[in-house]
Structure 1
Amino acid sequence: MAELDAIWISHLHLDHVGDLLNAYYALAYGQLPALSRPVPVYAPAALGARIAGFFEQPDAGFVGDVLELRPLHDGHVLELGGLTVTSRLVDHGIEAYGLRASADGHTLAYSGDCAPCSALDELADGVDLLLCEVDSDTPTEVHHTPEQAGALARRTGVGRLVVTHVGPSLVPSVATARAAEVFGGPTVCAEVGETLSPW
């Protein structure tokens, strides 16, 4: 945890925020080394209410020694050392954000969970690496299909596409191939524990 500068959470569906509850509990009550400062957590503003509700507290103030909750908004810009992170509101049926991160002349965009939208196009424009979810086999109003992820990469001119959050109705290798066929550029599927360079 000493190497962790901040946490960024795209939206409050459980598969994207559930681990934060375990992390809080481990840091506050586990046998981990004490933090020198609370970890900033950038997330939709309702995160505090979710945490308070889970722990049956009136508000989220009790996490303040461990987590410093900071609300995201459309156009939010975060500077962390040499890293710049820009967040944009994307289409997912709830408050949800995609991001663009840049450092040392290199760029990465992350869709979070969302359907195709103009804000995501702006985030992805010309990035070195696009990390895009492909949760749906057919078009929906809340997720990308492999073909939509590939089309996003093609029209925004990204250098490399990494598909992630592959839905249960899809086979990862097949979804990756479908996205690659539309994109026409380097395309891989994200793997747990893998480190990818954006250039």
Structure 2
Amino acid sequence: MSDGLLHLTVLGCAAPYPSVDNPCSGYLVSSGDTRIWVDAGSGTLGPLQRHVRLDSLDAIWISHLHADHSADLLTAYYGVLYADIHLTAPIPLYGPPGIADRLASFLTNTPARSPIESAFAVTELHDGHQAAVGSLRLTSRAVSHGIPAFAVRIEAAGKSLVYSGDTAPCRSLTELAEGCDALLCEAESTQAPVEGERVHHTPEDTGDTASTAGAGRLIVTHVGRFLTPQQAVARASARFDGPVDYAAPDATFSIG
């Protein structure tokens, strides 16, 4: 879309593996002619191509290296180097520390390391990382998921979208989301664990995070297998007074 607004298109949001009609986590965020693939979970490369070719992407941003958020980078690699895609330069790829070596460990089948850097121009994220990609401004914060993981605030045209990635409720996410127009927040946990480390939001947590941050709207995503989307939205709505939606596959949201 080239209307200058900030748009979110849901490629998939299933957890922790794809369903028949829903790939894992992946989103296309765009404004004007700038387009970023945000998370590349299993199965998302297919629906991505309804909207943009790989060689027309401006960047890829990956929250963490669990397969349901990153596995389609492997097939994207083959697409950009060995098929009908013709890159003029490697695709900028923003991801957690070690992402290039992780990809290489999957893709290398001979003594020579697979040429990951020929496909992707890798930048490792750190807490507070900032980047300008076309008309989009990205700010990443480290969040609490038990492995290196990041949330991102994407701003354009005076509007802002925050994506949680996978994380337990944490101050860095709330700070990142302060005053945002829309918070896209995962809700994979059915209930908070009584003991042990938390690594996900419950639907109630998503409402609390959105409320504390003063978000304009909440979009619930990555709902666990033991809840329906309707149940997740209802439970989040009990803790957040603003509009609450579900990130249904193929849905597009105009932010602001």
Under TM normalisation by the shorter chain, which class is it? Answer: over 0.9
Matched position secondary structure for 1:135: coil
Task: Name the count of aligned residue pairs.
Answer: 198
Whether 1:45 and 2:97 are equivalent positions in the alignment is yes
CA apart distance, 1:2: 3.4
1:156 alignment partner, one of 210, 213, 222:
213
The match for 2:137 is 84
Q: Is the 8 A contact 1:52 1:59 kept in 2?
A: no
Matched position secondary structure for 1:196: strand
User: Partners of 1:107 and 1:60 in 2: how far apart?
Assistant: 39
Aligned residue identity for 1:161: L
User: Partners of 1:59 and 1:42 in 2: how far apart?
Assistant: 24
User: Partners of 2:128 and 2:60 in 1: how far apart?
Assistant: 17
Whether 1:122 and 2:175 are equivalent positions in the alignment is yes
Structure 1: gaps of 5 or more residues: none
The percent of aligned pairs where both chains have the same amino acid is 47
Q: What is the root-mean-square deviation of aligned Cα atoms in Å?
A: 1.4
Written as runs of structure 1 = structure 2, the 5 A alignment for 1:28-177 is 28-30=81-83, 32-56=84-108, 62-140=115-193, 141-177=198-234
CA apart distance, 1:132: 0.1
Structure 2: gaps of 5 or more residues: 1-53
The match for 2:249 is 192
TM-score, length-normalised on structure 2? 0.74
Matched position secondary structure for 2:252: coil
Aligned residue identity for 2:204: E
Summarize the Cα distance change of 1:60–1:117 in structure 2 as closer, same or farther, 3 Å threshold. farther
CA apart distance, 1:88: 0.3
User: Partners of 1:179 and 1:76 in 2: how far apart?
Assistant: 29
CA apart distance, 1:61: 6.1
User: Partners of 1:148 and 1:157 in 2: how far apart?
Assistant: 14
Aligned residue identity for 2:153: R
1:90-114 CA-to-partner distances (Å, cap 9, x unmatched) read 0000000001111111011110000
User: Partners of 1:83 and 1:34 in 2: how far apart?
Assistant: 24
- The structure with higher relative contact order (CA 8 Å, sep 6+) is 2
Summarize the Cα distance change of 1:195–1:129 in structure 2 as closer, same or farther, 3 Å threshold. same
Q: Is the 8 A contact 1:135 1:167 kept in 2?
A: yes
Summarize the Cα distance change of 1:45–1:135 in structure 2 as closer, same or farther, 3 Å threshold. same
Aligned residue identity for 2:149: A
Q: Is the 8 A contact 1:48 1:60 kept in 2?
A: no
CA apart distance, 1:56: 2.9
TM-score, length-normalised on structure 1? 0.95
1:50-79 CA-to-partner distances (Å, cap 9, x unmatched) read 111112367866122221111111100011
Aligned residue identity for 2:124: P
CA apart distance, 1:26: 1.6
Summarize the Cα distance change of 1:59–1:146 in structure 2 as closer, same or farther, 3 Å threshold. farther
